[in-house]
Structures are given as C-alpha cells and as structure tokens.
Amino acid sequence: MKTTFLLFFLIAASLSSLAQVEFVGHRGASYLAPENTVASAKLGWELGADGVEIDIYLTPDNRIVAIHDKNTKRTTGADHIVPETSSKELRKLDAGKWKDEKYTGEKIPFVEEILKAIPKNKYLVIEIKTGPEIMPTLKKAIKKSGKAKQVKFIAFEWESIVEAHKAFPNNDCYWLTSVDKDLKAKINECAAVGLKGVDVNSKLVTSENMDNAKKLGLDVWCWTVDSPEEAKRVADLGVSAITTNRPGWLREQLK
C-alpha cells in the first residue's frame, strides 16, 4: 500500500512540474519557420508558446533589428555586418527563403514589428546581443509599443543585463550562461543586483545549481531543449521555463 501511494505521489509531482513549466519559442518557432522573423514569432505563439525569444542588434542609423548572427550571411545569403549596415540595406535582404520557399520575402524585422505582434497574455523575450548603448532606443520602442508589461530580457554580457534591469526595473531580467564555473561565480551577484534569475544551458540544470538558485530566491530558465526526455528532467528539477525550437511539438510530447 505504501509503495503504491509513493508511486502515485511521484507521478503526481512529475505531472505537476510539467504543467507549471512554460515554453519559450527559440527565435520563434524556428524548427519550422525562419528564425527571428515576424512569421516565426507569430507561429511560435500560435503553436502554444508562452513566450517567444528574439535576438537584437542596433544599426548605425539607430534602428533595432531582430537577428541572431552579427553577420547576415547564414540567414540571408548576403554578407553584411549588422552593426555596420543601415537598416535600409538590411531590409532589402530576404531572411525567409533559406528556410523554405514559402517564406520568400520575409524581412529582417524591426523590433517594433515583433512587439506589435505579441498576443494578449503572451510575452516576448529579448536577448540583447550588444552592449548597453542600445538601451535608449530600446526604451523608446518598448514604451511606444504599449506592451512593456509583456517583455522580458536576457543577455550573456553582464553589463548589458544589469543596464537592462536599471532601464526596465519592473521587467524580469535573466543573465545567460553556458559555463558552470561562471554560474557558480556569478550567481550571488545576480541576486545582489536584483535580477529575476538565470537562463542557462540545460546541461547546467543540476540539483546543486537549482538548490543554490532557490536559496538566493532566483528563478531558473534553460535552453535549448528539443528532447522530451531532457525537458522532463529539467522540469522535474524545477526550472520555470524551457526554451525550445519546437514549442508546440514539445508541449504535446509531454502531455
């Protein structure tokens, strides 16, 4: 009888952790659609992602564009350095065709276009790929969108995420890392400066690291998980959000 009860309790606890975890579409629904485009972001939310993540850079003419790489070659075929190229030139590029012919003509989007697309009760995760110099322009864009409450921030660069927290004190900010020794060295400082939490490579989701975060009152997200087994493992350990290229599919696998 005790064994049956214990088994029931463990199953219930596991199902509860899966029910509570949120799914963030990595660069949108990037398994199916061209990453960091309006189409990919919209599809991510349509497929059930709680949030969609994008990467941003600042152009020389002071516009913010969504793209992961510093160079446009991989996703457009054209060889341009994003921070050195005007938004007018970047907007001429095709950022969709490389993924699928049906996305031909998809542009490198302005952050304003992604902000506008956020559905009610969903959120956007903005990964800052630059230094703090982007903050004034980013503040203007987010304020103008009227969707400030639906935005969260992440960054690998420490100064950038600290400045994001200062610029947006009411928004959740997470420091990104994939290095265990860096996490252990920096996690106390994350709490001290008032960050919401850390967003780590899923391999860093261990009982020890989760316990440390919990003691400091820090939330833990992880990336990039496309395996149901790995998603279940990190959910059971207590992460609150999983970033994935396949938000709709992964959620279905865990039901």
Question: Could you give the CA distance from residue 64 to residue 83 in angstroms, rounded to a whole number?
Answer: 10
Among 23, 24, 26, 152, the one annotated catalytic: 26
97 burial via Cβ count (<10 Å: 0-12, 13-18, 19+): middle
Q: Which residue type is seen at 191?
A: A
DSSP class of residue 81 equals: B
Helix axes 180-192, 207-215, angle to 10 degrees: 10
A 10 A CB-CB count for 2 gives 6
Span between the terminal Cα atoms of the chain, in Å = 27
For residue 22, the cross-strand partners are 241
Whether 80 is a known active-site residue: answer no
Question: Could you give the CA distance from residue 23 to residue 247 in angstroms, rounded to a whole number?
Answer: 6
Among 27, 42, 63, 68, the one annotated catalytic: 68
Helix count (H) and strand count (E) of the chain? 11, 9
Q: Contact 95/55 with Cβ under 8 angstroms?
A: no
Residues 6+ apart with CB under 8 A from 165: 153, 173, 193, 194, 195
Q: Contact 238/21 with Cβ under 8 angstroms?
A: no
For residue 242, the cross-strand partners are 23, 222
Tell me which residues are annotated as active site.
Answer: 26, 68
